[in-house]
Homo-oligomer: A and B are copies of this chain.
Amino acid sequence: MNLSVRSSTPDDMPAVLELIKELAHFEKAPDAVEISSDLLKEYGFGKDPAFKCFVAESDHEIVGMALIYFRFSTWKGKSLHLEDLIVKESMRGNGVGKALYTKVMEYAFENKLKRVEWAVLNWNVDAIEFYEKTGAHVHKDWYIAQMDEAGIANYLRDQK
């Protein structure tokens, strides 16, 4: 297979959005995707971009993506978050995921970042096994708390 991984351009965002929707379906939340490819273009490629995205390409088709941004650890310093790593379902098992994962680690290494962090669903045992094999530590003692837009507004109203 002819496979290459490169930084994405604004023109890749419609294909990236398709991958995001595919992952939402896999994670059993197909209606949760509110983003549009125009917003991806705006947030990813303006002044002060909110993320960087790598795409995997095979025969001029985008078959995977990894989306990252900086975080900051108060213990270690500047770090990286891997928000999504998605491989098109029909292309799984061809090393696309590993090529993207390696690209992310290279980016972290080149930018002297202290850590790469990401979340994985606890029932996604194949992914967990892969991550641990590569040397990542999968923490089972943290919960992820989220307050959504409506929750923020409700909470603030209650404080008045």
Contacts and interface: CB of A to CB of B under 8 A. Distances in A.
Interface of A: 20, 24, 29, 32-35, 39-40, 43, 48, 50-51, 67, 69-78, 81, 83-84, 102, 105-106, 108-109, 113-123, 128, 131, 134-149, 151-156, 159
Nearest to A76: B34
A28 to B, nearest CB: 10
5 contacts: A116-B146, A119-B143, A135-B147, A138-B143, A139-B144
Given A143-B140, A145-B131, A156 B72 contact: no
Contacts of A50: 70, 72, 78
Nearest to A44: B72
A59 to B, nearest CB: 24
B119 A147 contact: no
Contacts of A148: 76, 114-115, 137
Given A106-B156, A115-B149, A155-B135, A24 B75 contact: yes
B71 A81 contact: yes
A155 B114 contact: no
Contacts of A83: 71-74
B39 A115 contact: no
A120 B144 CA distance: 6
A74 B84 CA distance: 8
A74 B20 contact: yes
Nearest to A154: B135
A71 B155 CA distance: 21
A50 to B, nearest CB: 4
